[in-house]
Amino acid sequence: MRPLEGLLVLDFSTLLPGPLASLVLAQAGARVVQIEPPGPGAQTGSSDPKVGAGSVNFVMLNRGKQSIAIDLKAPDAVERLKPLIQTADVIVEQFRPGVMERLGLGYEAVRKLNPKIVYCSITGWGQTGPKAQVAAHDLNYMAETGVLGLSAGADGAPVLPPVLAADVAGGTLPAVINILLALRQRDLTGYGSHLDVAMGDSLFTFLYWALGEGFSGHGWPGGGDALVTGGSPRYQIYRTADDRYLAAAPLEDKFWENFTRIIDLPVALRDPAAPAEAVKAAIAERIGARSADAWRAAFEGHDVCCSIVATLEEAVADAHVSARGLFAHALKADGRELPALPVPLAPVFRPQPTRATAPQLGETVDPLLAV
């Protein structure tokens, strides 16, 4: 039995943070019903890239869920949804503050129908504050919370992040954590709660080290000058002879000693007091003299905290990833099978490998839903 079996989740959200949060809940056993607008369906349903006539994004984020199509602006929408709301355990929504209230589906209205409801609102800037109504995307949240300012390319300009950290780390994961906490609180009190999950708020947690330096008076770090942003030769990316890259992170002395011995760095440059730029230049020269495969072989079996930068295609084919079964689940879409998106559940909570599909718009016929 999976831990969330018997739980009913109504998901009014679109795009990434909310649907991914409800996917985690679904994989843990919850029954998740997507409440989608008629016509094109959820916004992820019409986005590129496509698999057949549908969206890869939608298929990836909605496997194992159900779908009900309803126009939330229709005069009878709330009345039609009332039976589901009264039996639901969790509601996930991702509109700007005030939208669900105008639809008659805000927390206070829902709580009157179901005092036990756990109502999770995911937004960029939260339900309150001067930025509450400001439109933004992942890059904007990272820019305004200082995350982007700590990245720097060769020219000193911030580097575009390759991951949607604000959406997933700032939205999805805090939503799941707080939903589970609220369910536990409901076990103790008998009442649900309204969860205000703000992506901007959550990103500051990831800057704990930078906040510590700034608040303690040691100076606010910038892009390229701190321990983990390029200021140290012990946490650096070096180019190999075949134009691949070595990610070197021998931070602790024991790893640093192994690393510098293997690359034959001059003893004087191994000293922590040696000028950082001179050390970086000497390491770059040595790493640049040999191929990625040569360095992989040289470091194998030694604790050096060094890795050859993999392409995504190489990473998913890694033997360790295969042994962990991360892509053992499959998606069926348009007559094809694709590996399913892994979700961060411990192996003990993961369902056995399955071949699941994402729902077609409005395919769920629920006996509780008035027609």
DSSP 57-108: HHHHH-TT-EEEE--TTSTTHHHHHHHHHHH-SEEEE-SPTTHHHHTT-SHH
Strand 245-248 vs strand 306-308: parallel, antiparallel, or unpaired? antiparallel
Catalytic residue list contains 167: yes
Q: Is 155 helix (H, G, I), strand (E, B) or coil?
A: coil
Per-residue tokens: 35 = 């409440």
Residue 328, phi-psi category: left (phi > 0), alpha (psi -120 to 50), beta (remainder): alpha
The residue from 167, 196, 264, 303 that is catalytic is 167
CA angle 183, 165, 194 (to 5 degrees): 25
Instruction: Give Cα 223 to chain centroid, integer Å.
Output: 23
Phi then psi for residue 316, to 5 deg, are -70, -20
Largest CA-CA distance found in the chain, in angstroms, rounded: 79
Q: In the chain, count H helices and then E strands.
A: 16, 14
Q: Tell me the catalytic residues.
A: 167
